A = this chain, B = another copy of it.
Amino acid sequence: MARRSIRQPSSTDDLDARKATILEAVVREHIDTAQPVGSSAVAATSHLAVSSATVRSEMVTLEREGYLAQPHTSAGRVPTDKGYRYFVDHLQAGVVGEAQQQQIKDFFANVRGEVEDVLAQTSTLLSQLTSYTSVVVGTGHAQSAILSTQLVSLDARHQLLVTVFADGSVTKHSILSVFDVSHVEVAEASRQLNALLIGTVLDARVQVPSRNDHVATLVREAVATLHAQAPTLDGEQVFIGGSSKVAEAFDGVETVRQVLAILEQELLVVSLVQDILDQGLSVAIGSEHGFEPLVSCAVIVAPVTIDGHPSGAVGLLGPTRMKYSEAMAAARAVSAQLTQHFHGDDRA
């Protein structure tokens, strides 16, 4: 688990045992109480047999090296992002509690329905388990082969193109013709589309008919419409659970507002989660993700794979002083179950 932030490769990143213990005590206490932690509290709770004075002098060092900070002169210490980072990398190790383990098991034993439903409910579950806002991202079908495609006529000018992908996802696109199209023509176009597209992926080049009759025009239109969305992130699905937890986890109305505003922009959330995954991190703390409005947040992510290849992620968003151990354990457990759930028994 010893990972290293890409954005903070500055100092040697190693602390002697006592400093580490002190840092740990400060982080634990501060996560618990949300208050600055004083030297005597550390001397008492940590099992170091040293006096508060000793702790104090160590704290001075820890502060100089950037692991701790002081809100004001005569207050205790508070962990910095770097402090949390060290804690996460070296000190914490979480397991999911009995009850929660059971809750997860029960959930996945009983859940049914389409992928979208499962993901949405999973998001709610994860949020309930941790009391943080959860994000579940499902990768789109960009690389998934087309299993079937069908053109349905709504009326003479309106057709609906329904496409089924190998991963079980379905898209629809409406097509507006500039001329009236008969049912026979729609059926024929549908047949041709199937012939053309089945087995291909969205960004594949396809030989479309160049004739100028109704059917050919319709086919060209349909293919164009379908392919038009390929380059975008379309098909990405985001499920956010427990946004009300934002109001609990952060204080300051303005912070709450900002975080909620971010969560509203789903594309932003997807790219945030992607970024973190790409960096090979499982947690991004404070400024690490480089997302200005989220400096007071920490984001935990755990990838989900289907049949071996990455196909989504589950995430948690909380304050930097979040309960990393529990939250990371929960995220990992849920992502593992999700991976397993989509492995074989229920594909779509």
Contact = CB atoms under 8 A, between A and B. Distances in A.
A162 interface: yes
Interface stretch (A87-95, A170-178, A209-217, A319-327): A170-178
A39 interface: no
Interface string A171-198: 0111010000000000000000000000
Looking at A158, A170, A172, the one whose CB has the most chain B CB atoms below 10 A away is: A172
B150 A347 contact: no
Interface string A217-251: 00000000000000000000000011110111001
B347 A174 contact: yes
Nearest to A255: B247
A346 B247 contact: no
Interface residues of A, number: 38
A236 to B, nearest CB: 14
Nearest to A169: B172
Number of copies: 2
Contacts of A168: 154, 158, 160, 172, 174
A242 to B, nearest CB: 7
A306 to B, nearest CB: 13
A247 B244 contact: no
Nearest to A262: B244
A1 interface: no
B264 A242 contact: yes
Question: What 9 A-B pairs have minimum CB-CB distances, sorted nearest first?
Answer: A244-B260, A247-B257, A244-B261, A174-B348, A170-B172, A148-B152, A247-B256, A152-B164, A158-B347
15 contacts: A148-B150, A148-B152, A150-B162, A154-B347, A158-B346, A158-B348, A160-B164, A162-B162, A170-B172, A176-B346, A244-B261, A244-B263, A247-B257, A248-B253, A248-B257
